[in-house]
A and B are shown apart, each in its own frame.
Chain A
Amino acid sequence: MSLTGKAAIVGCAQYRPEKYTTAPQMFHLEQMADLARMALIDAGLALQDIDGLAVNGAHFNEATAFVPAVVAEYLGLQVGFAETVDLGGTSAVAMAWRAAAAIQLGLCRAVLCVIPGRLTPPDPDADPAAFAAAMQLGGHSQRFGAPEAEFDLPYGHMGQNTGYAMIAQQYAHRYGYDVAAMAGIAVAQRSNAQANPDALFHGQPITVDDVLNSKVVADPLHILEIVMPVAGGAAFIVAADDLARDCRHRPVRIRGCGEQLDFKSPSYARDMTVTPIARAAQRAFGMAGLTPADMDMAQIYDCYTITVLLSLEDAGFCTKGEGMAFLREHDLTWRGDFPLNTHGGQLSFGQAGAAGGMSQLIEAVTQIRGDAGERQLRQHDTAFVSGTGGVMSEQGALILTGA
């Protein structure tokens, strides 16, 4: 099983993260058209070059079925590869390798991967109370027969915060927990955001004390260790090597990938401190013939600080159970010896729904191209990118290298 590096990421686009209250409301199709155009311009490709499409499957506003056909028709595309991806925060990572695999199979030559993340204009005929109730339940199904509706909601098990908190508690019980070191993840990423004018928290640095003095949402997680949902949206284009050579920027090759789903609720994990990224990353590194030590940067999905810690361990950047020491021993900022989430991470860049995970991929591309401005790394040829959906339910890994 391999990706032979015959596909590369050639174009990216991203709305600047904004608070929901100030961002424009646009239909998902309009956002996709916007993002597609920006990504095409970035790549130096024409609309007619796109012959593959990957879109998010969940929460699409203007269609409940036939989503790729609706999107392709709206955009004016005819495609030989169409995919909806419903993997939450690892959707972007999943789209990238699916696109690369489709290109390698010869099904298409250029795939648009796009996830809108701004609110849509309210339906004038809809009941606002029903919308508010649905928002409150997030991705949790309330439908008759849904296991989580029947066996989670009566006990209050709902949403992501408490699930991640219980994983962190179990980790603390097994291996110990250094609250200052964990807060340090959020602080380092906030420091990175100071070198990224597009980050939501640009201009607002924080200290370890700020994190530890912030409100505890679910023990042991403070609010500054939890990602802030924002309006946004992102897109990227994966193209065959021959097309990529003629694009405007250094192609970023997809050299390795892996994906693993083990459960929806970590309550049913065999061991909730061993996350699916372990197998996903192992496959990705194996496919690329590279190791964690070969990576110039790690762009690790960071919905919570605990996600970063477990990903560092399980992806092989440090030994299981020694993550706290790793955090204390390394400088995780773009200036440091272990550059992590150099755009600020979603913790400081903002999380635009399922498009949030695309920010990690786009930052890797930006760094590999050498276009990261003030936060540009000196060594920037190889990147590890991860995605996480649900409550460590589904994770993916990519190994990217500059051509």
Chain B
Amino acid sequence: MNAMIPRPTDISRPFWDGLREQRILIPRCQRCRGWVFYPRRHCTHCASHDLAWTPVSGAATLCSFTIARVPTLPGFAGPELQNLAIVTFSEGFNMNSALTGVTPDDMCIGMPLRPVFDVMDDAGHARLLFTAA
């Protein structure tokens, strides 16, 4: 597995830094209380710029998934079948991710999930995967 390392921007950096510390920080609008993911300059519900990084537990359910029988990128070619997942956080927003520690036969839409902090390289870059809760 040799996935692309995310390149944080000034806006998104707290999210990726949080993952290194095993924390999930998500922008939340201080005006309308809406959650914003992926991180942006503004609230997508009310356009306010008053967003605050807010910790969440990462409790989620599986919104949808597929098994890529043809790897989507060379870095995902390997002995294990590649899966892709869309997860819905208990706060209501969605994130693109993938499942780990779950066989394709055990994957089902609606299953409860918990986060897995996946360290991608020696520099400590991390991404957020999910597994069965």
Contacts and interface: CB of A to CB of B under 8 A. Distances in A.
Given A147-B38, A150-B12, A268 B94 contact: yes
B127 to A, nearest CB: 5
Nearest to A273: B64
Contact of A219 (B69, B71, B86, B127): B69
A133 to B, nearest CB: 10
Interface string B36-52: 00100000000000000
A332 B73 CA distance: 36
B3 A150 contact: no
Contacts of A170: 63-64, 109
A151 to B, nearest CB: 5
A274 interface: no
B4 interface: yes
B69 A218 contact: yes
B65 A158 contact: no
Interface in A147-195: 147, 149-159, 161-162, 165-167, 169-170, 173
Chain B interface category by residue count: 35 or more
Contact of B6 (A154, A165, A169): A154
B97 interface: yes
A155 B116 CA distance: 13
Interface string A268-299: 10001000000000000000000000000000
Given A155-B96, A267-B86, A150 B68 contact: no
B84 A157 contact: yes
A345 to B, nearest CB: 22
B98 A173 contact: no
Given A166-B84, A166-B86, A169-B64, A158 B8 contact: no
Contact of A156 (B5, B64, B72): B72
Contacts of A157: 72, 84, 96
B67 interface: yes
B67 A219 contact: yes
Interface in A204-222: 215-219
Contact of A154 (B3, B65, B66): B3
B83 to A, nearest CB: 9
A218 B7 contact: no
A265 B9 CA distance: 20
Contacts of B95: 151, 267
Interface in B8-32: 8-9, 12
Grouping DSSP codes into helix (H, G, I), strand (E, B) and loop, the A interface class, with mixed when no group exceeds half, is helix
Contacts of A216: 67, 69
A124 interface: no
B7 A158 contact: no
Interface string B59-98: 0000111111111111110000010101000000011111
B110 interface: yes
A136 interface: yes
B110 A173 contact: yes
A70 B70 CA distance: 39
Nearest to B44: A268
A161 B68 contact: yes
A66 interface: no
A167 B64 contact: yes
A146 to B, nearest CB: 10
Q: Which of A151, A158, A167, A170 has most B Cβ within 10 Å?
A: A151
Residue with the greatest number of chain A CB neighbours at <10 A, chosen from B7, B64, B71, B109: B64
A155 B97 contact: yes
A176 to B, nearest CB: 13
A153 B69 contact: no
A169 B83 CA distance: 13
A156 B70 contact: no
A145 B9 contact: yes
Nearest to A171: B64
Nearest to B97: A155
21 contacts: A144-B7, A150-B7, A150-B8, A150-B38, A151-B95, A155-B84, A155-B127, A156-B75, A156-B84, A157-B96, A161-B72, A166-B64, A166-B66, A169-B109, A170-B109, A216-B67, A218-B70, A219-B66, A219-B67, A265-B96, A268-B94
Interface of A: 136, 142, 144-145, 147, 149-159, 161-162, 165-167, 169-170, 173, 215-219, 265, 267-268, 272
Closest 4 CB pairs of A and B: A165-B66, A166-B64, A173-B109, A170-B64
Given A166-B65, A216-B67, 17 more contacts: A150-B12, A154-B120, A156-B71, A156-B72, A156-B73, A156-B76, A156-B84, A161-B72, A162-B68, A167-B64, A169-B109, A170-B109, A173-B109, A216-B69, A218-B66, A219-B69, A265-B96
